[in-house]
Amino acid sequence: MTRPGAGRRHLADDLGHHLTLDGPPRRIVSLVPSLSEALAVTVPDRLVAVTDWCTHPPGLDLPRVRGTKNPDRSAVEALRPDLVVANQEENRRIDVDRLRAAGVPVWVTVIESLDDALRSLRRLFVDVLAVGEPGWLRTAADEWSRPAPQPASRVVVPIWRDPWMVVGSRTFAGDVLVRLGLVNAFRTSPERYPRVNLAELRSADPGLVLLPDEPYPFTDDDGPEAFPGIRTVLVSGRQLTWYGPSLASARAELLDQLR
């Protein structure tokens, strides 16, 4: 009997790059923390290496191939993966191109909204890996289909300081803000993560400042002091910016922190 998904298949990733797979990939290297968690939770036996930044699930014990922006391509190639998963924002095109030139199949995801994330993850697990839609993904889709709370609060979300950088337009995190009933003060910026000075941040007239713990590790002693008189809330960067299994609980957890 032929396994579901077995046999040669011709697929196109989120950027439209065509690749041919002889069957569902069994040796996968992930260059994206969110995707590493999704794969480790759903198909743990297929994941053979991840980046240094892949911190979830806790205790993930796999070979590391350096970072998202500087993967050790020789180490990746030596693992003989039948698929590498990457992301347009997280990873560099030059690394993807060089891996492909070395004969390594690479699947690139493009995620700039919650709907992008749900669609892209569904394609990865159903079309590429042939394992069906994970339960956590169905739960996430149901959770984030709920109407946004009202009334909306105006918010800024720094992701770095010195220099200050914030969530701008066309970002996954920006869409999460909308679904939480928030109005991003920099939603019309031409840049996805604009650099701004502190005066610009304050003059954006936010009623709320969200300070995630990644990529910059904002803490009680590092961040809130820059916004006197404005409500600041420290939030999990994973809940705000990751698009793996954390999506199933992120909405409820973030809303609880915003109360």
Helix (H, G, I), strand (E, B) or coil at 22: coil
Q: Give me the CATH topology for the region 9-133.
A: Rossmann fold (3.40.50)
Our CA dihedral for 60, 66, 69, 72, rounded to 10 degrees, sits at -130
| Mean per-residue pLDDT, 92-110 | 97
**Two structure tokens written together for 40:** 């480790």
**How many H helices and E strands in the chain?**
9, 13
Cβ of 11: how many Cβ atoms within 10 Å? 14
Picking from 149, 142, 146, the residue whose alpha carbon sits closest to that of residue 208 is 149
Report residue 5's pLDDT band, with 50, 70 and 90 as the boundaries.
low
- Give me the helix-helix angle, 135-144 and 114-122, nearest 10°: 160
**87, containing H or E segment:** strand 83-87
Under CATH, which number does the domain 153-258 receive?
3.40.50.1980
Give buried/exposed letters for 157-171 (b at 16+ CB in 10 A, else e): bbbeeeebbbbbbeb
Provide φ and ψ at 169, rounded to 5°.
-100, 160
The domains of the chain are located at: 9-133, 153-258
pLDDT exceeds 90 at position 165 = yes
CA nearest to 198, candidates 155, 169, 163: 163
47: Cβ contacts below 8 Å, ≥ 6 apart: 28, 29, 30, 36, 39, 40, 62
- Contact call for residues 158 and 193 (beta carbons, < 8 A): no
231 CB burial (10 A radius; 0-12, 13-18, 19+) = middle
Q: What percent of the chain shows pLDDT beyond 90?
A: 93
Residue-wise pLDDT for 212-246, tens only, equals: 999 999 999 999 999 999 999 999 999 999 999 99
Assess whether the region 9-133 and the region 153-258 belong to the same CATH fold: yes
- Residue ranges of alpha helices (H) inside 55-193 are 73-78, 93-101, 114-122, 135-144, 172-179
Query: What are the tens digits of pLDDT across the range 138-157?
Result: 999 999 999 998 878 899 99
Task: Kindly tell me if the per-residue pLDDT of 93 is higher than 90.
Answer: yes
Binned at pLDDT 50, 70 and 90, residue 32 comes out as very high
